[in-house]
Amino acid sequence: MLYPYIKSLHLIFVVTWFAGLFYIPRLFIYHIEAWQKPSPDREILSDQLKLMTKRLWYIITWPSAILCTLFAIWLLILMPAWLQQPWMHVKLAFVALLFVYHFKCHQIFKQLQRDEVKYTSKFMRIWNEVATLVLFAVVFLVVLKSAFNWIYGIVGIFALMILLMLGIRWYKKVRDKNPNA
């Protein structure tokens, strides 16, 4: 009887967690690019971006990750047979990868809060796509409920990565021609 409510809450927090993970690298890009501006713009933008990232990270992203995980554990308690299925093992591996990504974002967040810029905006644009790849993999696994043929899966993920990289390069060209884009 609780299952549909727990699943709904899990999905809501999956969405909000991913929203945070999609937006935080974008704020990192803006923060890194703000450091290339002259004073006082650099300090004004940096202070504003620190506040925005802090609010996003601690008010949306972290709570969503925790609640998503708690509801996922609850679902697994309600449906223990899922743990016997190969697709769930693969999904949990991708979720573990997502947590690695989340913790790395947290490390970058802390560095930028201390005004330590260790990455380029180009790196961050590529980094921003990691969560997208994990999302694609997890959604297909959950919907198909199959650890589908890995040859097709790997080819599909690489094709998606190539398309994302081409999109990043295209956007850079557009942006270089028109800095306001």
Residue 125: count other Cβ atoms within 10 Å of its Cβ: 20
Rounded to whole angstroms, the Cα distance separating 89 from 98 reads 14
Q: Is 91 annotated as a binding residue?
A: yes
Q: What single string gives the DSSP state of each residue in the chain?
A: --HHHHHHHHHHHHHHHHHHHHHHHHHHHHHHHHTTSPTTHHHHHHHHHHHHHHHIIIIIIHHHHHHHHHHHHHHHHH-GGGGGSHHHHHHHHHHHHHHHHHHHHHHHHHHHHTT---S-HHHHHHHTTHHHHHHHHHHHHHHHTS---HHHHHHHHHHHHHHHHHHHHHHHHHHHH-TT-
Annotated binding-site members? 10, 91
Annotated binding-site members for heme? 10, 91
